[in-house]
């Protein structure tokens, strides 16, 4: 049985998968298995996966109908045999010593989990390091809850770099914890965040290193540019799933305003999505829909009870217009922005 199972969901990744897989094959630590989950990809990704499996018997390929990244990761976890699990996205890659460093830190600390910093990579090649979820060191269950779980629970507003991102690929996870508690991914929005919250409610010791071991390729296609017509339905399902995690692990008292913070964060994304250039609706219809979002009970409560502060300039401006209900000015601002 391998020590580490590396899971890579694959969908329309024909042009980027080689760099990802080659970075795994180049690992200085050799006791791993690589699970490539072909999520019904319509391009040549599936055949490329099969080619790699033919070259190295540590590479396994599973072909499935398209079901999204959550279903692909879940299948990977079901098929994994390693003591630990590492996730990689198909358009990303890792340093040659990633497995060795993470596993070494974990075993030296007697921990069940390990984490690292990462590199952010722009399509043009620009890169910058982003610190890990916590500074280098060893953390017990209480420190994990305060430093990771509570931040994912309620601290969802702030400047870029201040809000903890739910990146699962910068952690080495215990497969035993995942199996024993049947932790799974669900949905297509912030599924990483929910997974991390639940997992780190159960982890007992975390070893963090400050080396950036993972290369995260920044995707210019985001909800700020590409319109998602079902975004609000997706957010409602996410909020219900988050409420279930809060109840299951008794997190309600950690941050009494976690719902308001979560709803504000979701509302700001919903507004940007509604005014995205890809939305074909007339400007008046976009404005009407945004007003409707703000009247939903959870959103209305957040607007009434929480005045977000400390965000970036643009988000702070949008939040101020929403609180004043100046939706006409908000729509005009986005119209000018999109023309630019």
Q: Tens digits of per-residue pLDDT, 325-334? A: 999 999 999 9
Measured distance CA(124)–CA(118) in Å, rounded: 18
Query: What does pLDDT average to over the chain?
Result: 94
Measured between its terminal Cα atoms, the distance across the chain in Å is 56
Render pLDDT for 96-113 as a digit per residue (tens, 0 to 9). Answer: 999 999 999 999 999 999
Measured distance CA(222)–CA(87) in Å, rounded: 21
With residue 84 as reference, give the H or E element that holds it: strand 84-87
Nearest to 248 by CA among 175, 188, 183, 177: 183
* SS3 label, residue 266: helix
CB atoms within 10 A of CB 126: 9
Per-residue pLDDT of the chain (340 residues; tens, 9 = 90+): 899 999 999 999 999 999 999 999 999 999 999 999 999 999 999 999 999 999 999 999 999 999 999 999 999 999 999 999 999 999 999 999 999 999 999 999 999 999 999 999 998 889 999 999 999 999 999 999 999 999 999 999 988 778 999 999 999 999 999 999 999 998 777 889 999 999 999 999 999 999 999 999 987 654 345 788 999 999 999 999 999 999 999 999 889 999 999 999 999 999 999 999 889 999 999 999 999 999 999 999 999 999 999 999 999 999 999 999 999 999 999 999 888 7
Residue 260 sits at φ, ψ, to 5 deg, of: -65, -45
Write the CB contacts of 295 (distance below 8 Å, at least 6 apart in sequence): none
Structural domains in the chain, sorted by start: 4-217 (3.90.550.10), 231-339 (no CATH)
The answer to whether 224 and 102 are in contact (CB under 8 A) is no
The pair of three-digit structure tokens given for residue 121, joined into one six-digit string: 């990579």
């Amino acid at each position: 049985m391998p020590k580490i199972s590396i899971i890579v969901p694959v969908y329309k990744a024909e042009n980027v998968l080689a760099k990802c897989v080659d970075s795994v094959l180049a690992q200085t630590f050799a006791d791993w298995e690589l699970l490539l989950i072909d999520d019904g990809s319509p391009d040549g990704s599936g055949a490329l996966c099969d080619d790699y499996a033919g070259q190295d018997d540590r590479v396994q390929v599973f072909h499935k109908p398209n079901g999204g990244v959550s279903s692909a990761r879940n299948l990977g976890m079901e098929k994994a045999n390693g003591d630990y699990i590492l996730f990689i996205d198909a358009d990303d890659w890792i340093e040659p010593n990633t497995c060795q460093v993470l596993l070494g830190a974990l075993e030296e600390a007697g921990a069940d989990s390990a984490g690292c910093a990462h590199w952010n990579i722009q399509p043009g090649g620009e890169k910058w390091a982003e610190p890990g979820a916590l500074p280098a060191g060893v953390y017990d269950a209480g420190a994990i809850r305060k430093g990771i779980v509570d931040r994912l629970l309620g601290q969802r507003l702030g400047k870029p770099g201040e809000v903890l991102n739910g990146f699962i690929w910068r952690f080495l996870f215990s497969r035993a914890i995942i199996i024993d508690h049947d932790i799974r991914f669900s949905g297509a929005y912030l599924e990483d965040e929910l997974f991390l919250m639940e997992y780190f409610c159960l982890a007992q010791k975390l070893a963090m290193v400050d080396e950036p071991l993972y290369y995260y390729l920044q995707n210019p296609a985001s909800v700020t540019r590409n319109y998602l017509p079902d975004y609000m339905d997706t957010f409602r399902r996410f909020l219900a799933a988050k409420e279930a995690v809060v109840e299951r692990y008794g997190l309600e008292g950690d941050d009494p305003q976690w719902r308001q913070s979560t709803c504000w964060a979701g509302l700001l994304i919903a507004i940007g999505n509604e005014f995205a250039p890809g939305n074909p609706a007339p400007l008046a219809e976009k404005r009407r829909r945004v007003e409707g979002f703000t009247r939903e009970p959870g959103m209305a409560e957040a607007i009434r009870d929480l005045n977000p502060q400390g965000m970036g300039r643009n988000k702070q401006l949008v939040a101020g217009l929403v609180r004043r209900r100046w939706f006409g000015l908000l729509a005009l601002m986005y119209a000018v922005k999109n023309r630019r």
